[in-house]
Chains A and B, each alone.
Chain A
Amino acid sequence: MNSYDVTVIGAGAIGTSVAYHLVEKGFSVALLDHGDIAHGSSSHCDAVALICDKKPGLDTQMGAASIAHYVELSKIFSYDFEFDQKGCLYVCETESEYEVARKYAQTQAADGYDMNMIDAKQLQDMEPFLAKDLMGGIWTPGDAAMSPYKVCFAFTQEARKKGLKVFTYCTIQEIRLDEKNAVQAIVTDKGTIQTKKIVNCAGAWAPDIGKLVGIDIPIQPRKGMNLISEKTERISWHKILEFGYMLSKFEDIQFKRNVSPLVEEYNVAFNIEYTKADNILLGGYRGFRGFDIRSEWEAMKAIAERGLRFFPVLSGINCIRSYAGVRPFVKDHLPIVSEVEGIPGFYIAAGHEGDGICLSPITGKLMAQMIAGEPTDFDISKLRFSRFDEPSPACEVLV
């Protein structure tokens, strides 16, 4: 199988982007996956790149940089990944929610992000099918949607033009380190790859790769589930989420919604997306179920219930499919984009939870800069792997 400067493990949204950015820098790169391109989380998710669901600070900074990078890539790639900068609406049900949202939007606007509050009337003008009793919400015009697996195919196809070698359906058996504990080779069922550098982009499966070099990567699978409708008339024009979505994402925010016990139990937060295939993607639910991604009937009911609260028109539209996937969850909600101390040549780019698609371009860019020994676009020391060995800092609060 030959020898490469860098071997990227995992052909999802992160791995394909890392591989693309590395070949752009002139490295010889192999991309390995035990299955097909985008067979894991990147084809079992929704597909948005938002800053309006990020915490102020680094989280938002990365999101914004990533979206800006997506805009560029969508222009230069010949593979269409259905990128659509349609903007995002974060809708508020109650006045108290609206207040919290306003403070949040203020903080973000003060940092220079295009995010502003709209009232109930503006909301109805933009989205006439939304429930009439909503307070208004946050409008972020720069936020975007796309096809998540097509992003992976696009990165792979463009990188192949520049010499990327792709080994799919290839199982890694061993990672060989030399006497100085530095990366030396990867043994697979298809042969051995000589490589001095490895980037572990295996998402929720990254801990399995970590074990091969004796490190413990604290990423857990967190299940997410969505419903899909039949092809239907257009009922929404922007990405729309409920502000309570924050609640389901960050448990450190103390905020109670007025929802049914079922919706509460399944941690369901409404979000809707009208896709390029003319169907509606309705979410979402998050929970910890290990790697079990079977659809849960009660969760489906809860998602439908919550969807009807915001879009009563859904009541007569058919649901044809549900699907679930795992998200690579890290306790502090920040990805790991880092080298690994003590194992020269071993890098990790994983743990993006529900933001893998959003942060894919910027993660690839930052990782390629790190491997090339260049300064990164911005300070990402917060994303270092060694943070888990240190005493935990005070919990960051959103607003």
Chain B
Amino acid sequence: MAIEDTGYLSINELKCRQKLPGEARYEKGPVAVIECVQEIPCNPCEAACPKNAILIGEPITNLPVLDEDACIGCGICIAKCSGLAIFVVDKSGKDSTGKGKVSFPYEFYPLPQKGDKVKGVNRSGEIVCDAVVTSVINPKSYDHTPVITIEVPVEWADEVRNMKAAPSNEPESDDDMIVCRCEEVTLGEIRQAIREGARDVTGVKRRVRAGMGLCQGRTCEKMVQQILCQELGLSPDQVGKSSARPPVRPITFGRLAKGEVE
């Protein structure tokens, strides 16, 4: 899938366009990664850089080019990019236990706090790894674009570009709502199945029987899909549906044996 289909640059596309710093630069410390593809009149990043490491020049529709050696990874450009396309990645492991760090703009409430255990999310919005928030910077000069830094396993540092608050284990008020009526499965049980690793409709089905009753998921399957999408930040395509299994409607074994189907 290319950017035309997804709206973001895949890791291979970034490599082809030489947007990712080389390993040698990564070793030296934090560095900006500019994943901008918008050839529009826009240059706040160029003006924001205190080291003059970002060049757009003339015409103003040029894509920004980073001088990796001049960049100190301060992260000011992150908040200034109106397209939220700049990140700072630190794979040097200099100030921690071999972990990588990723800084990104985060325009959501509630803001996380330093020390929160969260989930690292990749460019397509999928949760890919565990992460810990190491800083939340939100000065007035950032103009409502807080910059969050999270610590992730270093092999995920080129993939993770955002975070999602880890699902809390606190009971929610609608947890006792019945979703699958045939098997009497509640929303809370489905959430629990998701916390235990279910990532698609059949995964939920196997864990809590939602969709295994008389109606075969006709009533609840769409809701189960929706819950999965909400909890995991996935699209309906990604959570799939259950396999179609005949008979379409209940039929007695007596009629089935005789092949009596209307």
Contact = CB atoms under 8 A, between A and B. Distances in A.
Interface of A: 1, 36-39, 43, 149, 153, 166, 168-169, 191, 227, 229-231, 277, 282, 295, 297, 300-301, 304-305, 307-308, 314-323
Given A168-B197, A191-B155, A308-B253, A322 B245 contact: yes
A36 B202 contact: yes
B197 A304 contact: no
A230 B183 CA distance: 11
Contacts of A323: 243, 245
Contacts of B70: none
A359 B212 CA distance: 27
B155 A153 contact: no
A210 B88 CA distance: 42
Contact of B245 (A169, A230, A295, A307): A295
Listed residue (B155, B183, B203) with the most chain A CB atoms within 10 angstroms of its CB:
B203
B214 A314 contact: no
Contact of B203 (A39, A231, A321): A39
Interface of B: 155, 183, 196-200, 202-203, 206-207, 209, 212-214, 216, 243, 245-247, 250-254, 256-257, 259
24 contacts: A36-B199, A37-B197, A39-B202, A43-B206, A153-B196, A166-B197, A191-B155, A227-B253, A227-B256, A230-B214, A277-B209, A300-B247, A301-B259, A304-B254, A308-B254, A308-B257, A315-B257, A319-B247, A319-B250, A319-B251, A321-B212, A321-B216, A322-B247, A323-B245
Nearest to A156: B197
Given A39-B203, A43-B206, A169-B199, A1 B256 contact: no
A372 to B, nearest CB: 28
B256 A300 contact: yes
Given A39-B206, A169-B199, A320-B213, 5 more contacts: A1-B155, A153-B207, A277-B183, A304-B253, A304-B257
Majority SS at the chain A contact face? mixed
A94 B243 CA distance: 39
Nearest to B254: A315
A168 B206 CA distance: 15
Contact of A301 (B199, B200, B203, B257): B257
Majority SS at the chain B contact face? loop
Contact of B252 (A39, A282, A316): A316
B246 A322 contact: yes
B240 to A, nearest CB: 11
Given A230-B214, A301-B259, A321-B216, A295 B246 contact: yes
B169 to A, nearest CB: 16
A229 B246 CA distance: 12
Contacts of B203: 36, 39
A231 B214 contact: yes
Contacts of A297: 246
A319 B256 contact: yes
A47 to B, nearest CB: 13
Contact of A304 (B183, B198, B256): B256
Nearest to B129: A190
Contacts of B252: 315-319
Nearest to A309: B257
B247 A277 contact: no
B251 A318 contact: yes
A300 B206 contact: no
Contacts of A321: 212, 216, 245, 247
Contacts of B245: 295, 321-323
A332 B245 CA distance: 32
Listed residue (A149, A169, A321) with the most chain B CB atoms within 10 angstroms of its CB:
A321
Nearest to A316: B252
A351 B43 CA distance: 62
A245 B92 CA distance: 63
Nearest to B215: A320
Q: Which 8 A-B pairs have the closest CB atoms?
A: A315-B254, A318-B250, A304-B257, A304-B256, A314-B253, A305-B257, A304-B253, A36-B203
A52 B202 CA distance: 32
